[in-house]
Structure 1
Amino acid sequence: MGRGVLLTANLPQLQNLIKRDPTGYKEEFLQQWNHYNSIREIFKIHPDEQAQHFGELVTFISQVATCYPKETAEFPLQIISLLLEQLLKCLFPILPRTTSSTLRTFIRKTILSDIRTANIRSKNHKLNRAVQAMMFGMVERGIEGEVIGDKGKVRASNYGPTTDRTAHSGEEAMWAVILTKELWRKGIWTDAKPVAIIALGCFHPVTKVQSASLHFFLGSDEEKTDSDDEEDDDVDIRALHHRREINKKTRSGDKKLQKILNAAKKKRHNKPVTAANFPALQLLNDPQTFAEKLYDILNRYDKRFSLDHKILLMQLLSRVMGSHKLCVLGFYTYIIKYLAHRQLRVPAILVALAQSVHDLTPPDTVTPVVRKLAQEFVHPGVGSEVIAAGLNAIREVSRRQPWCMEEDLLSDLIEYRKSRDKAVTAASRGLLQLFREVNPGMLKRRERGKDASMGLTSGTKPLPFGCSADAAVDIEGLSLLEDHWKKLREEDGVFLGEDEEDEGGWDGWDIESDSSDEESDEGWQDVPDDNRDLILSDSEDEEPNAKSLQPEAPPRISTLATTKILTPADFALLNDLRIQEASKVVENGGGSHAKRKLATLEANKKLQQIPDQENSFISENDILGPRKKAKSDYAERMASIQKGREGREKFKSNKGKINKEVASSSTNREKARNKPIMMILSSGAVRGKKKASLREKQQRLRKHIEKAKKMRH
């Protein structure tokens, strides 16, 4: 017993004995190992208690762990996890409190690298949960603060003697949002928990925290380089030019300046186009509540927020409503006051309006908005660009909810297709073509077109609001795919079973093809008795006064869809076959209808290469429509000049005998320059300078100075 007490109290002596005889002192080691596990649990809860003794135990086990590898197999992982947890707990509070930019950068890089290292081989869920809970608390602590003014500053009375100023000032929440966005961008955190942290930041009272969170969902954050050590610093071009004017003029300095300017220009040119963060939008927890809270903030602090910040809120709210098909009816009442052609950034507001509408939006709510758009944007008192933007906005809203349009208003809007302006004509024709497809009954008979008129005659009507289409009988063009596979089997001489056809059909495809290629075909429908005098055939061989319908062959319905599961690759092949078939019809003189069908199929093929959710979002260019060519910038003008100089000699003067095809003598200016001084002293030019008045000398000097300035620039 005395020996055991002595060894327990003297760890260095026990360490020496274990290294000499590991087997003989195994019981003493196990006693210290159990003691270490107990102290470790206490240290996690209260790091200040028994910290020195815990350090001595860690040092002892580290020295003798090689003698008992089986018992200490989990020791390295325990120490790594403990270091990460305790280190992050210490670093996070320091980050918003320090005033040193160097220390902040070091702490930020340390946190990101440690979390990334812990998740390299597999997800460290325990560490991730601990850090996410810490960041969630950093955002939540300042969420109840009261903010005054338009800069998002917290009221000073909210600070108490024991209140943490960083929590209410937004610095703590800002760093939590920044780190969460970085971990999401690097692909370390990809689940719903980081999305919940930033979603909470969208309701933070400090404007800068709210703005950073909104940018995350909108995908408008600037992409940074892959290197963790490289910061995304913008080059101050004006400062570089100013420094160049002050410093000494050297050729090496000019080269360095030009190199920096070229790199900055290339960086701005290669900046990726911003797109919405679709995965984050889909991972939102309870999107209806999230959208209602966004609208509540937008409506409550309308006078406090700047216009740019309100547009950010509108854009995020509209995208959440469009992607999840939500109804926040108060948003349409709120946005009406911003629908004016003199409103700043009105294209972005129109984009937000169009993206918020979907097929489940009540038409009665959107009809006043469409009426306001027509009153403000589409009338003779505004410019053609304003009219085109208004028509395009109305078209995008009507595309998502056609029942919001009024028949009289539609009749007035499509009359603008006779305008002399190209943008207005294109916008009005686009609106006309839309209603020919979705609801031709709202158009006058002469404006419906051939296909829409035949559809109405056969009894085809658009579905009312809230109704869904019936099950499709067949997929248009599916027989082409069946014939294609049959031809391949005949050429190979081998019958391929269904399982063999399916192999590889899903390679490289993440989602199913959209329903753009799956148009429903109702099959043969009888024409009512009162329309039996209608002649449906365009053949010249038929009698024009025929009183009965010509017999037609029933459409062929393929059974391939009921016997085989079609893959996205099959649908892509089907679309190509339909394009080939439509091309043959056009080549054989199919007419304008065949050309329009071919153009539609080719457009659908391009749309399939873009994610479906991205197709539901539009940009400001879709609202503004085609415009006149804008004035070219310096780079475009220089490129055009260089293109025009291709294939010709360098431009230079042909004066004198050097640059002319036929050599000639020197010019009079060259001869005068080489004359002796005594020969020109009595010339009129020299005598005139001597006799010139003070006024003439001033005019000559001013002319010389202006000419020198022009040559310098």
Structure 2
Amino acid sequence: MGKKKTTRGVLLTANLPQLQNLIKRDPEGYKDEFVQQLNHYESIRRIFEIKPDDDDDARRFRDLVNFLSQVAPCYPKETAEFPPQLSSLLLGSYATLSPDTRKALVHNLVLLRNKDVISSLELLQTLFPLLPRTTSSTLRTFIRKTILSDIRTANLKSKNHKLNRAVQAMLFGMVERGMDGEVQGDKGKLRGHKHIEGLKISGEEAMWAVTLTKELWKKGIWNDAKSVSIVALGCFHPIIKVQSAAIHFFLGSEDEEAENSDEEERIPDLKHLQHKRTVTKKTVSGERKMEKAIKLARKRRAEKQNNGNSNPNFPALQLLHDPQTFAEKLYEGLNKYDQRFSLDHKILIMQLLSRVMGSHKLCVLGFYTYIVKYLTYHQLRITVILVSLAQSAHDLTPPDVLTPVIYKLAKEFVHPGVSSEVIAAGINAIREVCRRQPWCMEEDLLSDLVEYHKSKDKGVFTASRSLIQLYRDVNPNMLHRRHRGKAASMGIQAGSQPLPFGHAPEAAVGIEGLELLEEHLEQKKAEADNEAFPADKEDDWNGWEVESDGSEESDSGSWIDVNSEGPSVEVSDSEDEGKLAHRKVPVVDDKMDGDSQTPAEAEEAPARVQTLATTKILTPADYVMLNELRIQAAAKAVESGGGSAAKRKLATLEANRKLDSNHQDNTFLSETDILGPRKKAKADYAERMESIQKGREGREKFGSSKGKKKHETPTSSTNREKARNKPIMMILGSAAVRGKKKQSLREKQRRLRAHIEKAKKAK
């Protein structure tokens, strides 16, 4: 018996997978064998800590770690110290471990988490410090995916606030550890790599903290103010790479310099791949790689083109803690390190600063003094700078600060010495600034700018007319009499005056077009009643009342009877809510359109709107339906000859609906708003191919549709046919006839021989 037991122990010791299987089936029966392997692991671990370079010891150590990780749930007391030992070994001796050992230890820690041997927090406390230290892209990708999936799983059913707070504290600490470094700038292509080793690691840690926070926000796992605070702190990090990644988060665009993103494939070099295909053997796999590279390059090119026009992360901007201090620190860093930052990075900071100022209506007056030096038409990326300038202005910005900026724009962009595109961009930029703060414009400058409405260039006269229309609405007194228009002139005669700077408008007394919604709902209700109750049986329902059940009446003794003559509050919802409720609720103008109402209607409208507004709780679907009804009413007014005012109103309503459908906000602009309408741009490759394919529709693969035989109706003749039918007097002086007269005998023989040969081939 002793011999058999010894033989069995030797076999199980040499075959760890078999022992693992047996232990999972009967843990108590094979506990002695497990203890033997655990003691063997302890001895190997001590040896491995002293000599980590020995390949044989490292291989045996990995086998034992894999074995213990599989059977650890069967012996929780005996393996209580096993997970901390793996974590301390990874964090303490990571640089001396071989790549295979690192990978094995990380995978076994994840396995222990999947078996609930360790908690998520214990696993994440080990994985987070490994991200900036690992050099293997495969292992780094695995760690990143593990972190994201573990946090997502923990918040799947409900928010795991305890885990989220702990992880957010770790990420905040990773960003904060490198905040004491000196900003070097990015003109020398990330000089942060020349820092001391500790600061370099802190920069990598901060980069990973910002990247993971962005991913969790993008996936909808984190959407609170603490997540925004982590990225907001990254906007002031001394490492420019971290700053850029954090700023791109608020701008809603992708960071082109993010090199730590292993999931994002880099843009392939198409010319190199095409040359490689010409000099190497043609294979099916190579062709597939080429097609995949072309698709990836087109996708990245499209993302790069749309990078400037991306939608800002408006929820994150709203969750900023103390936005005034945040904006002031942004401007302070921009002004202090102006000589160290490159132009692209300075423009990123300008964009973020302007959007924070515009969304929160902040005043950072030094920003306008700083941006003036960049307002020249030959400045690189001037359209983005003009967008930043316009977005920073709002109705609380002092006009005295913006007036010099407006004069600078007019001096640099609007004069005969520049092209029409520059003039249009300058007027459009002035218009966008004045739209947000109309009092920054002076009357003399405005009279000069509106004269460009006579220009022959479409972009210039469109920009000038839009400026005229803006001041017709906000302050027609600044325009000359011939530019005011009928409605503005009538308003001035009636005594209406624009509100001075700092004065708030009166409170809204109604919602424009609410009577249209009332009529629509009444019509729908009448149609539903007619369908449910035919006309011949409506009299049978007169005086019908619902009698409540006695049991219900006794149970609801706390209910209070409401007088039937009083206003009844109705929670209404349109029948189109299922289709339209997911759309953004449009901002309804609180001004009444006085031009489209007669005096009698103007007296009836307030009472009617007040009655509807106090007896109905409008839902998002009702607001969407109200906007649609207003558009329909405006379209009918245009068809019935409402004039230019009705057309402008219809265009405004349609533009607002487009913004609502795209979930955009009027606070922010894009480069197209500054450039204005332009001539048709040169078509790219995709547009050219689309045009070619469109021309090939209905045609054979190898054939032309120019011949007369393929047309039902007669078509024009070709140039060759026209030359045959020309009168002789018209061709006597042509080069062909004169050259034929001067031909030698040899040339005539050659032409005749060629004609004979061609005729033979034709036969």
TM-score (norm 1): 0.72
Cα distance in structure 2, aligned partners of 1:106 and 1:238: 32
Pair 1:563-2:615 in alignment: yes
Give the letter aligned to residue 205 of structure 1.
P
Cα distance in structure 1, aligned partners of 2:72 and 2:678: 76
- 1:298 touches 1:313 (CA, 8 Å); kept in 2? yes
Give the letter aligned to residue 499 of structure 1.
E
- 2:584 touches 2:661 (CA, 8 Å); kept in 1? no
Change (3 A) 1:182 1:326: same
Q: Which residue of 2 aligns with 1:609?
A: 661
Cα distance in structure 2, aligned partners of 1:354 and 1:553: 37
Q: Which residue of 1 aligns with 2:695?
A: 644
Q: Which residue of 1 aligns with 2:635?
A: 583
Q: Which residue of 2 aligns with 1:140?
A: 176
Alignment of 1:19-98 (within 5 A): 60-61=75-76, 80=116, 82-98=118-134
Of the structure 1 ranges 426-435 and 579-588, higher mean CA displacement relative to structure 2 is found in 579-588
Pair 1:461-2:529 in alignment: no
Alignment of 1:643-662 (within 5 A): 643-648=694-699, 650-651=702-703
Alignment of 1:163-242 (within 5 A): 164-168=198-202, 170-221=203-254, 231-242=264-275
Q: CA deviation at 1:202?
A: 0.6
- 2:452 touches 2:464 (CA, 8 Å); kept in 1? yes
Pair 1:115-2:186 in alignment: no
Q: Which residue of 2 aligns with 1:15?
A: none
Q: Which residue of 2 aligns with 1:420?
A: 456
Give the letter aligned to residue 605 of structure 2.
R
Aligned residue pairs, count? 574
Q: Which residue of 2 aligns with 1:153?
A: 191
Alignment match of 1:594 (pick from 646, 651, 654)? 646
Change (3 A) 1:673 1:400: same
For structure 2, the 5+ residue unaligned runs are 1-26, 30-68, 80-111, 534-566, 708-751
Describe the SS at the equivalent of 2:572: helix
Change (3 A) 1:414 1:187: same
Give the letter aligned to residue 617 of structure 1.
F
Q: CA deviation at 1:230?
A: 5.0
Of the structure 1 ranges 323-332 and 96-105, higher mean CA displacement relative to structure 2 is found in 96-105
Give the letter aligned to residue 433 of structure 1.
Q
Q: Which residue of 2 aligns with 1:44?
A: none
Give the letter aligned to residue 153 of structure 1.
R
Cα distance in structure 2, aligned partners of 1:176 and 1:263: 31
Describe the SS at the equivalent of 1:323: helix
Q: CA deviation at 1:194?
A: 1.7
Q: CA deviation at 1:367?
A: 1.0
Cα distance in structure 1, aligned partners of 2:469 and 2:164: 53
Pair 1:256-2:288 in alignment: yes
Alignment match of 2:591 (pick from 516, 519, 535)? 519
- 2:569 touches 2:614 (CA, 8 Å); kept in 1? no
Describe the SS at the equivalent of 2:605: coil
Cα distance in structure 2, aligned partners of 1:320 and 1:553: 40
Give the letter aligned to residue 125 of structure 2.
K
* 1:452-478 per-position Cα deviation (integer Å, ceiling 9, x unaligned): 111111111111111111123333332
Change (3 A) 1:518 1:671: same
Q: CA RMSD in A?
A: 4.0
Change (3 A) 1:523 1:645: closer
Change (3 A) 1:132 1:398: same
Give the letter aligned to residue 482 of structure 1.
E
Q: CA deviation at 1:89?
A: 2.1
Cα distance in structure 2, aligned partners of 1:107 and 1:553: 67
Give the letter aligned to residue 203 of structure 1.
F
Alignment match of 1:267 (pick from 269, 290, 299)? 299
* 1:344-389 per-position Cα deviation (integer Å, ceiling 9, x unaligned): 1000000000011111111111111111111110011111000000
Cα distance in structure 2, aligned partners of 1:102 and 1:58: 28
Change (3 A) 1:447 1:263: same
Describe the SS at the equivalent of 1:303: coil
Q: Which residue of 2 aligns with 1:23?
A: none
Alignment match of 2:333 (pick from 289, 297, 319)? 297
Cα distance in structure 1, aligned partners of 2:129 and 2:600: 83
Pair 1:634-2:682 in alignment: no
Q: Which residue of 2 aligns with 1:69?
A: none
Q: CA deviation at 1:500?
A: 5.4
Cα distance in structure 1, aligned partners of 2:499 and 2:201: 54
Give the letter aligned to residue 295 of structure 2.
A
Pair 1:622-2:673 in alignment: yes
Alignment match of 1:363 (pick from 399, 402, 411)? 399
Q: Percent identity?
A: 61
Q: Which residue of 1 aligns with 2:136?
A: 100
TM-score (norm 2): 0.67
For structure 1, the 5+ residue unaligned runs are 1-17, 21-54, 65-75, 525-535, 538-549, 656-666, 676-713
Q: CA deviation at 1:172?
A: 1.6
Q: CA deviation at 1:511?
A: 8.4
Give the letter aligned to residue 196 of structure 1.
S
- 2:487 touches 2:595 (CA, 8 Å); kept in 1? no
Cα distance in structure 2, aligned partners of 1:86 and 1:367: 59
Q: CA deviation at 1:118?
A: 2.4
Q: Which residue of 2 aligns with 1:431?
A: 467
- 1:292 touches 1:328 (CA, 8 Å); kept in 2? yes
Cα distance in structure 2, aligned partners of 1:401 and 1:571: 29
Describe the SS at the equivalent of 1:164: helix
- 1:329 touches 1:365 (CA, 8 Å); kept in 2? yes
Q: Which residue of 2 aligns with 1:350?
A: 386
Alignment of 1:525-564 (within 5 A): 554-557=603-606, 558=608, 559-564=611-616
Cα distance in structure 1, aligned partners of 2:656 and 2:631: 10
Give the letter aligned to residue 171 of structure 1.
E
Give the letter aligned to residue 363 of structure 2.
C
- 1:358 touches 1:400 (CA, 8 Å); kept in 2? yes
Cα distance in structure 2, aligned partners of 1:207 and 1:108: 22
Q: CA deviation at 1:63?
A: 10
Q: Which residue of 2 aligns with 1:124?
A: 160
Describe the SS at the equivalent of 1:148: coil
Q: Which residue of 2 aligns with 1:678?
A: none
Cα distance in structure 2, aligned partners of 1:490 and 1:640: 51
Give the letter aligned to residue 214 of structure 2.
K
Of the structure 1 ranges 306-315 and 258-267, higher mean CA displacement relative to structure 2 is found in 258-267
Cα distance in structure 2, aligned partners of 1:601 and 1:139: 46
Change (3 A) 1:101 1:449: same
Cα distance in structure 1, aligned partners of 2:201 and 2:286: 48
Pair 1:451-2:451 in alignment: no
Q: Which residue of 2 aligns with 1:375?
A: 411
Q: CA deviation at 1:435?
A: 0.6
Give the letter aligned to residue 590 of structure 1.
G
Q: CA deviation at 1:289?
A: 0.8
Describe the SS at the equivalent of 1:556: helix
Of the structure 1 ranges 492-501 and 338-347, higher mean CA displacement relative to structure 2 is found in 492-501
